[in-house]
Amino acid sequence: MRYGYFDDVRREYVITTPQTPLPWINYLGSQDFFTLVSNTAGGYSFYRDARLRRLTRYRYNNCPLDSEGFHIYIKDGDCVWNPGWQPTQTALDRYSCRHGLGYTVIEGEKNAVSVRQEMFVPQGDNCLLLRVTVSNQADAAKSLRLFPYLEFCLWDAMDDGSNFQRNFSTGEVEAAGAAIYHKTEYRERRDHYAVFWSNREPAAFDTARESFIGVYGSPARPRAVLEDGCANSVAHGWQPIAAQQFDLELQPGRSESFLFGLGYIENPQSEKWVAPGVINKARAEAMMARYATDAQFDAAMEMLAGFWAELLSGFKVSTGDEKLDRMVNTWNQYQCMVTFNMSRSASYFESGMGRGMGFRDSCQDLLGFVHMIPERARERILDIAATQFPDGSAYHQYQPLTKKGNLDVGSGFNDDPLWLIAGADAYLRETGDWSILDESVPFDNDASLAQPLMEHLRRSFTYTATHLGSHGLPLIGRADWNDCLNLNCFSERPGESFQITGPSEGPVAESVFIAGMFVKYGRAYTDICRHLGLTREAEACEKAIAAVEAAALDAGWDGAWFRRAFDAYGNVVGGKECEEGQIFIEPQGMCVMAGIGKESGQAAKALKSVEERLDTKYGIVLLQPAYTRYRLELGEISSYPPGYKENAGIFCHNNPWIVCAEAELGHGDRAFQVYRRTAPAYIEEISEIHRTEPYVYSQMIAGKDAPSFGEGKNSWLTGTAAWTFLSISQAILGVKPCLDGLRVDPCIPASMKGFTVSRRFRGAVYQISVENPDGVQRGVKALYVNGDPVPDGVIPVQSAGSTVSVRVVMG
Ligand code: BGC
């Protein structure tokens, strides 16, 4: 069942009922000011850091769900309603929500009054803009009241939700004209305030929640709306809000628009006040003046549209399969940009108060956005590398505001160092900007320890090469990619963190997954060395890689698939002798992507085992059989009920690894089958089962062992976005940036007769047309650039600004 449809021309998902299975959200903003907004206008705003600079409040576990946001109330006689249905839940005569690229438009109609609520964050400014257009479609005039309403957060979202003995006394506001200023803590150390404004003078306002809602009222039945209007209340402590009241006489056929904004303003210390207790509003007033008219609003929206059109123009495919095209051209790339902006901080599943930026997460996210914003990818790589330790290991997380490593979690996740090579390699292949390797980057954020980035990569490689266990496989440490496989943790007490309990350096437990990574990204490092003329180093690396590869094929091999690990007792994890957890997806994907066992046939066998043992109709589960009881020696993975999260859930992040692995072996039909099973546009029809947004990936879909098989969770902020983009653009469609040029080597279903791709690469545009006359899955018979044959399949780098035509004939 569907709850809407894709509008491919406008690049929108149009939701046609407010009662989606879960709130379906969008992200507004792509620089410093962000807003999450749901299809019923729920959500919240923050400036840069979702914990420390939260502008509006949101209660994740609220009942009903999603009742804080950017709500507009309409009072039409006795009928009170919202164009987005929440929070009054008054039944609407018509409803739609269009989530587009960086904007959302909600429209509701009731009793011949229609209200259109447009929202976006303008480029280069720290505010959210809203336009509310009210139209009277009745035959008679209407007397209406309109109220916008939002609830301020007292900045630090964590404190805001816990430190009530203080918070209930600190709230402060100023109301002036058509603006409401939220200035809690501005009297002391803060140099910033928030402002809510309208472009018209309201009839009245409220800034105290108690006054607008009523002490025992609720957003579904606000006192001021139901009874006699706003009371010009001024909040002192308790809960500051912004609410305004507009009285409107609307003739038949007439429309009126109201412009609102929510801004974040910083003032230098010396310019904080204009009089004792009166804040300096000059910057806020300038902001309001920038968006005071419909024409200004429209111009800012047009600028936003231009920004996204340009950003997504670097990779465009036309395959004849509209679902595939819309995923690749719009939604998958859009999600990659959102994960770049948010990492794992703020979604409807991530509260914005928890972890900072993940070292491994950020490196992987980069794989999905480096082609769109290479300059910001460069900066990100340098930030990440600065949180590496001198021995090559790394802080597992760092804080975006300070860019400092997070001591609470520390290091010891032994896959982290190799992801830095993965990210840097992707950047080099995309940009050819070798100068990044000469950039001086601190270790442990300590400038006195700075070394060129190349030295960071070297130490990443060396760290793994020198931390091997008794089988010659890399030691796992606290965990590898699978944060929940904690082989050195042994946690017995509830509440202990699986990630930081126990020693970080287990001397025994090994990971076959990291072995695969070491072979894959170690080779990438070796290529970099060769490119730089470091032949001796490259040869030494190749030796170390060969030894680990041999260990993976030997101790890491179980007979029909790759084992997962050896635990702290030296017992196999992910082998046929295990009672549960006999086969895991991760080493099959990573080892085969690395080419391990390709010649011996083990790679093909491993993938066959995945198909036989892990496949389900909704995607590939992470392991089988699921763990049915807690196992001290395995940690968090066995803490989840069977079928959820890492315990045999369909972890969408590593499904594309199997896509890439299948493509590595030339299996185009199977690669595409795996791709399609989790790709949102292809599962739109089962939205009642999947429940999360049908336009973006979720981190996890409940596996076959779960009662809610097929249900998605943790939508939006997941490495799935980057990896699926990589799997479809590079592995299946086969357009691969290389150190020396662009390779086109598709691996597609035999039934696909061809496709075209427009790819921006190092400043030139490659118009690629692929023909598959013989219906093969893999193989390039001929490749022509501007009509001339290119023998080795790699298109040399073209001059910036040029457009070249590339013809690829498969066979
Ligand atoms: C984390 C990743 C991790 C994955 C699997 C995600 O929640 O962000 O870093 O690799 O879970 O455990």
pLDDT tens, 448-494? 999 999 999 999 999 999 999 999 999 999 999 999 999 999 999 99
Residue 420: what residue type? L
pLDDT of residue 18: 98
For residue 719, how far is its CA from the centre of ligand 1 (angstroms)? 8
Q: Catalytic residue at 483?
A: yes
Residue (of 405, 414, 411, 356) closest to 383 by Cα position: 405
**Does residue 360 line the site of ligand 1, with CB under 6 A?**
yes
pLDDT above 90: residue 738? yes
pLDDT band at 793 (very low <50, low <70, confident <90, very high): confident
pLDDT > 90 in the chain, percent: 97
* Separation between Cα atoms, residue 213 and residue 437, nearest integer Å: 58
CA of 718 to the centre of ligand 1 (A): 8
Question: Residue 642 — pLDDT band, cuts 50, 70, 90?
Answer: very high
* 788 has pLDDT over 90: yes
pLDDT at 399 over 90: no
C-alpha of 496 from chain center: 28
SS3 state of residue 71: strand
Of 415, 480, 483, 745, which residue is the catalytic one? Answer: 483
SS3 215: coil
Task: Determine the average pLDDT of the residues in 49-63.
Answer: 95
Q: What per-residue string of b and e applies to 638-671 under the rule 16 or more CB within 10 Å gives b?
A: bbbbbbbbbbbbbbbbbbbbbbbbbbbbebbebb
Q: What pTM value is reported for the model?
A: 0.98
Please tell me the distance between residue 532's alpha carbon and the centre of ligand 1 in angstroms: 34
pLDDT at residue 504 tops 90: no
pLDDT tens track for 274-292: 999 999 999 999 999 999 9
Whole-number Å distance between alpha carbons of 184 and 182: 6
Q: Is the CB of 350 under 6 A from ligand 1?
A: no
Determine whether the shortest distance from the Cβ of 481 to ligand 1 is under 6 A: yes
Query: pLDDT confidence of 762, banded at 50, 70, 90?
Result: very high
Atom of ligand 1 nearest to the CA of 344: 8
Model confidence pLDDT, tens digit, residues 14-30: 999 999 999 999 999 99
344 touches ligand 1 (CB under 6 Å)? yes
User: Is the pLDDT reported for residue 786 higher than 80?
Assistant: yes
Question: Ligand 1 centroid to 453 CA: how many Å?
Answer: 25
State whether the beta carbon of 483 lies less than 6 angstroms from ligand 1.
yes
The mean pLDDT value for 642-647 works out to 98
Q: With 90 as the cut, is the pLDDT of residue 503 above it?
A: no
Q: Which atom of ligand 1 is nearest to the CA of 355?
A: 8
Confidence of residue 402 (pLDDT cuts 50, 70, 90): confident
Give 640's DSSP letter.
S
pLDDT number for residue 263? 99
| Residue 358 near ligand 1, beta carbon < 6 Å | yes
646 CA to centre of ligand 1 in angstroms: 9
Dihedrals φ, ψ of 594, to 5°?
-80, -5
- Verify cis geometry, omega within 30 degrees of 0, for the bond prior to 268: no
CB 442 within 8 A of CB 449: yes
Dist. CA 482 → ligand 1 center (Å): 6
Q: Is 321 in the pocket of ligand 1 (CB under 6 A)?
A: no
Give pLDDT, residue 363: 97
Answer whether residue 167 shows pLDDT above 80: yes
CA 386 to chain centre: 23
Both tokens assigned to 360: 């491994």
Q: How far from 9 is each of 325, 399, 663, CA to CA, in Å?
A: 12, 38, 31
Ligand 1 atom nearest the C-alpha of 479 is 12
Nearest-CA residue for atom 8 of ligand 1: 361
Is the beta carbon of 646 within 6 A of some atom in ligand 1?
Answer: yes
Q: Which whole number is the average pLDDT over 187-207? A: 98
Query: Which of 339, 384, 481 is the best mutation target for the ligand 1 pocket, counting ligand atoms within 8 Å of the beta carbon and taking the most?
Result: 481
> How far, in Å, is the centroid of ligand 1 from the Cα of 448?
32
400 falls in which pLDDT band (50, 70, 90)? confident
pLDDT band at 401 (very low <50, low <70, confident <90, very high): confident
Which residue of 347, 357, 359, 361 sits with most ligand 1 atoms within 8 Å of its CB, as the best mutation to test the pocket? 361
Residue 704 has pLDDT above 90, yes or no: yes
- How far is ligand 1, taken at its centre, from the CA of residue 337, in Å? 18
The string of DSSP letters for 596-626 reads: TTTTTSHHHHHHHHHHHHTEETTEE-SEESP
Cβ partners under 8 Å of residue 531, min gap 6: 434, 739
- d(CA 531, ligand 1 centre) in Å: 33
The Cα-based distances of 73 to 233, 351, 735 in angstroms read 18, 27, 50
Q: How many CB atoms lie within 10 A of CB 495?
A: 5
Contacts of 784 (CB under 8 A, 6+ apart): 790, 806, 807, 808
Protein residue with least CA distance to atom 10, ligand 1: 481
Q: Are 148 and 158 in contact (CB under 8 A)?
A: no
Average pLDDT of span 687-695? 98
pLDDT classification of 408: cutoffs 50, 70, 90: confident
Q: Pick the atom of ligand 1 nearest to 483's CA.
A: 12
279, containing H or E segment:
strand 278-279
571 CA to centre of ligand 1 in angstroms:
24
Atom 9 in ligand 1: residue holding the nearest Cα: 361
Cis amide linkage into residue 641, ω under 30° from 0: no
State whether residue 314 is helix, strand or coil.
helix
State the SS3 of 559-587.
Answer: CCCECCEECCCCCEECCCCCCCCCEEHHH
- Average pLDDT of the segment spanning 303-325: 98
Helix (H) or strand (E) holding 14: strand 12-15
What burial letters (b/e) apply to 348-360, b meaning 16+ CB within 10 Å? Answer: bbbbbbebbbbbb
Nearest atom of ligand 1 to the alpha carbon of 714: 7
Predicted pLDDT of residue 595:
98
586 lines ligand 1 (CB under 6 A): no
- Cβ–ligand 1 distance for 361 under 6 Å, the answer yes
**Cβ(482) – ligand 1 distance below 6 Å:** yes
Is 355 near ligand 1, meaning CB less than 6 Å away? no
- Ligand 1 atom at shortest distance from the alpha carbon of 485: 12
Query: What pLDDT, in 10s, does the model give residues 318-359?
Result: 999 999 999 999 999 999 999 999 999 999 999 998 877 899
Q: Which pLDDT value is given to residue 394? A: 97
Asked if residues 726 and 732 have their Cβ atoms less than 8 Å apart, the reply is no
* C-alpha to C-alpha distances, 807 to 443, 743, 750, nearest whole angstrom: 46, 12, 19
Which of 653, 699, 717 for mutating ligand 1's site (highest number of atoms within 8 Å of CB)?
Answer: 653
Integer angstrom CA distances of residue 445 from 69, 204, 383, 404: 38, 52, 9, 6
Residue 627 CB less than 6 A away from ligand 1 = no
Which among 590, 728, 575, 566 is positioned nearest to 661, based on CA atoms? 590
Test site for ligand 1: of 350, 363, 483, 638, most ligand atoms within 8 A of the Cβ? 483
